[in-house]
Structure 1
């Protein structure tokens, strides 16, 4: 692989490093070594992908084979693995012998020094109780292990499992001739004694096992004996796990598909991101997608190789831009089947017909492709032009980038009812929800995606924390985590509970609509936002930036932005103490003025908005701006006004969205003016009593801005048509501690 100057600089920009900062890089030997490693040619890229849905014995998962398909598509089409070098084992192929033999034959025997190796496993895991006479040094007498297709045996009492221990996987990884190894384990070991949590399937087998074959340790001993001395203290490369110890790995439900929540978020980010994203940033972005579903109860973890700590898959994809889909097959010269890859699952759920894609790096001369049907992660497109002479031929594997996003105007909430509710409770709840127009569906069971669960607090409590308030109704995330400030009093009637929860339901729908505008990967609005803490001097907490910009913009960034702080190299989402003063630094890197808003939910569960001054007759101060001029920056809140933005006094998670558009937010402003505290002559931070009204107004404003650049589709009364050249929504999630 050739390491040219352009790719090198693009990689630096991905990390927030400018050309003028190279003196810092020269003093960092670890980074120098990393760049040298990337510059070396990679002769081969090998992958072994394992996914097991059908375990038999009455136990099954839904999304493991989808995980394998998503990883395979990512490696072949994004990272340019040779299809012959990607071996997949699913269901009946993924026996213990099949997995171990494939690792030995496909990976260990073929991999040479400098090669890239990926191992992925999706399936059940659990803990194995180890007798002291086998391994007397084991803490608590347990070791984690994955379960192969033939690993579950019915016995009297609880089933028994035959595991491949995680330590065995590490030894297999160390046995490779290369240290460029990444293992992805979308499984978990901690048991809750059931196969579901909330509305999600759990990848922890519900029982630990006392069964351990002594041959497992004989196999480990053979692997250790064959390790060369140079590998004695080495690591198995990078290991990415779906959850930390004591947490659960879960499966997400989409329209017509299931997938590992971790694998889906990870592959989605790697499809849409630019090259060489640092590993901690990749996991941060992945965790951001998991949080609205599991509420901090599933946090992906990383175990870094000391020699290779930064880039997830140890290579730069030949293509320097991300994509949202690829052509999987052709129907004829103008029609193709596509796979959606680079969108969060909540956007795929509502991605509308007529949406427009362009082939990667070819929007100026290629014919746009219009989405004509969609089923889960697959869709059908056709070229818009009927002039075959002007159409460029379509090709399997061609990467596609989003141009126009169509979203239905009528989007509601899907609420699931706790299965532990009594029949009369379910009947009353269904009747009560039918009177709330923003609730589109009420489900009692099924495999469809949901937005929240109405249930009893005791249903989602651990045995040690159960309370006697059986009739305490509350709202929960799909993963069974209680939403703040939604618990009712004991003895409350379920219809009264639903009426009490109406404002929370409206807020949930507002958050859902805000989330449908996220487009950091696909937006062509060039800007950057840095979240800073003030203690009292400013320091960077997180940074987000659109990447799909032209070369002129990238050159301007390199020239003008010399002191951009690097995002902290910390695992997990940022942690910010309660009461910390915050500031957002907004930088316009393009050639058009940008109007902006900041919206969010704080850790107390309140919807908030920052609004710049809008009164035309008032001259704003130097850093108090209605919009940001090209090449300039603004601060939220403006420093000169004395307005402070502080984290909540309540521990929890805060989620904010920084939104920019090429036209003013007139409808949103009208909605905000209805708040009694609103003032047009200064910037302000407002608590939103009407977040849903604000959310709908925002979508109207983004569509109005898009009308300035959209030349392909006419307005549709049933659809919001949003152009990636007209708006950008960046997401910030951090934990208040």
Structure 2
């Protein structure tokens, strides 16, 4: 794409900038400077990507090579980097000398003023004790873990050295992405996620490292790092890897690249980090919060780059097999959805014109890779044939009807406990597999929680219960001390049904890919009933042009986490931006671990085109109030073009249901509600059965007919 002034302004309009916004652009120095840079000689874009899985036994990671692969594909197909301008160092290539040499030769010696540079590292990190007594951060290269008198020690590439190398660049446009952590908290696994902290502090530094650092400090004495550093963690936290369906990757790198694939407008770095955090918080709560380290000159856009297309995407074509078949990568799907993503799902090939779109259908898949074939092409279509690098947007989502739960068993359980638990789970419906923690992805983990004995503060009692994959306890799942593990599993039948219901609800999340135009704001109410917006969700991939700022009084929370005081009162402002009525529903899991639903009054089950509805209404006695217990809540706001009749019918079976009124229900049978919801969305889609080879074993959901968005918040 050639970035002349006309193209730049046209792109801003495509991204939803109004005419008034263009007038603002003409007066905005930063954007003018960005345009001048783009309109001038194209700056070179260079990247050095480092990923290390295999250190020395038993210190191995699983997802670092995937991180490098995802970043490389993102840079080439999303941001237009040339493959020859990207150097990857993996495994044995990523030694101390290899990283140092590549940084100097590929980045320092080639980058000129105004060029864009990205450095990425995925691997182990740890703390390093200096002779002065100071403790600093270190990255561990391949070959950096050695044995000294039977004890493993690490020869580090100090983070300070990396920042000094950054100062030696001729350009200020440097981004460093560090998907690693430094402090070890006593566990190689946190619940079912592997950590990237090496379990030993380095007691000495390689003398060559100190000498090299001294040389750099003498040449570049500036006190602040150049560019931007994006870290996977906040201080004192550990970076994690996630495993799912033949895929292992860094949780931070996956969420970051997923967010960048789905961009529909240029994104400031803090907005990108907020969206990344929103994806991660669903798994880890606040146990892993990405952070940025800033320099004096802040990037206007993430990576100092504009995407080559203004449209978000769920995948790309990576190889063309013939005129009708291709290999794809599913780059923009969240990991929980990827686990269950079904065959026959369909994608539209993104084109720059208004011709009849090409549609491809998923025929096979392993992890992120899939095979698609081209469906019948209209004779009037002027679209190009299949090509490497074409972007794919989801149009039809297929989900199997037999989705179940995978349960991981904590590694700290005794062998006999694991055997008994596996036997007990075999009799529970909808448990598809039981695995050892860390072996593969899981929906939850069965483990023990230590608690102080009320009669003896020195005594710890262990109780069986469930954890989310990132280590957050599932409320109301822990029993009494001394309970047999088979009895514990039997006791967990109902909580497991709630977890499966929540999993099915989450499989409908589609804020980035939905074509149904809606916008929803989450608001907190003060004592005077004054509302303040604390979160906003909006679908953007719509045929109709909509206002990208429907709630003018909203300013995004920079860190992506919504925190609420206990007993806060909430409401949702639901805006229908389309041309047809929508039907709506709130479902979620509250702090107590209860499945809840909001049902509108039967006379107000739809929102008319252009209408905004406040939920719940100001009915006397009906308040949407968070509990007095600290913890996490996730609420899903569901919109559909068709009435949710089966879901409504199932909800009326709940014991607390009261006819002819607006209400908030605690659900007796959330799993039945989940299946009813999927059936409603399936019926609303009305997909031609001739398109489907499997007409009865999966739900087929048309992205034009529904939108599910999520609000996750912490009660403090």
| TM-score normalised by L of structure 2 | 0.92
* CA shift digits 1:530-566 (9 cap, x unpaired): 111122422221111111123x423xx26xx675233
Instruction: Write the distance in 1 (CA, Å) between the matches of 2:490 and 2:57.
Output: 43
- Give 1:311 shift: 2.7
Contact 2:108 2:168 (C-alpha < 8 Å) held by counterparts: yes
Structure 1 residues 70 and 371, CA gap change in structure 2 (3 angstroms) = same
**Aligned-residue RMSD, C-alpha:** 2.6
Aligned to 1:720: 699
Aligned to 1:36: 33
- Give 1:697 shift: 0.9
Q: Following superposition of structure 1 onto structure 2, how do residues 212-231 of structure 1 map, counting pairs within 5 Å?
A: 212-227=205-220
Structure 1 residues 149 and 363, CA gap change in structure 2 (3 angstroms) = farther
Question: SS of 1:40's equivalent?
Answer: helix
Question: SS of 2:215's equivalent?
Answer: helix
Question: SS of 2:710's equivalent?
Answer: strand
Instruction: Write the distance in 2 (CA, Å) between the matches of 1:386 and 1:629.
Output: 36
Aligned to 1:690: 669
1:537 and 2:530 aligned: yes
* Matched length: 701
Structure 1 residues 497 and 25, CA gap change in structure 2 (3 angstroms) = farther
Q: Which moved more, 1:475-484 or 1:376-385?
A: 475-484
Instruction: Write the distance in 1 (CA, Å) between the matches of 2:266 and 2:32.
Output: 11
1:322 and 2:315 aligned: no
- Give 1:193 shift: 3.9
Aligned to 2:366: 375
Instruction: Write the distance in 2 (CA, Å) between the matches of 1:206 and 1:563.
Output: 47
Q: Which moved more, 1:117-126 or 1:418-427?
A: 418-427
Structure 1 residues 586 and 712, CA gap change in structure 2 (3 angstroms) = farther
Out of 578, 581, 587, the residue aligned to residue 590 of structure 1 is: 578
Contact 2:534 2:557 (C-alpha < 8 Å) held by counterparts: no
Contact 1:21 1:562 (C-alpha < 8 Å) held by counterparts: no
Q: Following superposition of structure 1 onto structure 2, how do residues 18-29 of structure 1 map, counting pairs within 5 Å?
A: none
Instruction: Write the distance in 1 (CA, Å) between the matches of 2:19 and 2:553.
Output: 14
Instruction: Write the distance in 1 (CA, Å) between the matches of 2:182 and 2:458.
Output: 23
- Give 1:251 shift: 0.8
Structure 1 residues 549 and 593, CA gap change in structure 2 (3 angstroms) = same
Instruction: Write the distance in 2 (CA, Å) between the matches of 1:711 and 1:632.
Output: 37
* CA shift digits 1:579-602 (9 cap, x unpaired): 221111111111121111111122
Contact 1:327 1:337 (C-alpha < 8 Å) held by counterparts: yes
Q: Following superposition of structure 1 onto structure 2, how do residues 217-256 of structure 1 map, counting pairs within 5 Å?
A: 217-227=210-220, 232-256=222-246
1:186 and 2:179 aligned: yes
- Give 1:497 shift: 1.0
Instruction: Write the distance in 2 (CA, Å) between the matches of 1:371 and 1:444.
Output: 31
* CA shift digits 1:489-523 (9 cap, x unpaired): 11111122112222211111111111111111111
1:573 and 2:566 aligned: no
Out of 503, 513, 516, the residue aligned to residue 504 of structure 2 is: 513
Aligned to 2:279: 289
Contact 1:200 1:478 (C-alpha < 8 Å) held by counterparts: yes
Aligned to 1:88: 88
Aligned to 1:484: 475
Aligned to 1:451: 443
* CA shift digits 1:138-180 (9 cap, x unpaired): 6xx2101100012111112421111111111222222222222
Instruction: Write the distance in 2 (CA, Å) between the matches of 1:436 and 1:521.
Output: 35
| TM-score normalised by L of structure 1 | 0.90
- Give 1:448 shift: 2.0
Question: SS of 1:440's equivalent?
Answer: strand
Out of 650, 655, 679, the residue aligned to residue 676 of structure 1 is: 655
Contact 1:145 1:163 (C-alpha < 8 Å) held by counterparts: yes
- Give 1:117 shift: 1.2
Instruction: Write the distance in 2 (CA, Å) between the matches of 1:186 and 1:214.
Output: 26
Q: Give 5+ residue unaligned stretches, structure 2.
A: none
- Give 1:322 shift: 0.9
* CA shift digits 1:355-399 (9 cap, x unpaired): 111101478523321111000110101112289997842111111
Instruction: Write the distance in 1 (CA, Å) between the matches of 2:151 and 2:380.
Output: 67
Q: Following superposition of structure 1 onto structure 2, how do residues 600-639 of structure 1 map, counting pairs within 5 Å?
A: 600-614=588-602, 620=603, 625-639=604-618
Question: SS of 1:259's equivalent?
Answer: strand
Structure 1 residues 263 and 278, CA gap change in structure 2 (3 angstroms) = same
- Give 1:449 shift: 1.0
1:360 and 2:360 aligned: no
Structure 1 residues 369 and 679, CA gap change in structure 2 (3 angstroms) = same
Instruction: Write the distance in 2 (CA, Å) between the matches of 1:8 and 1:247.
Output: 38
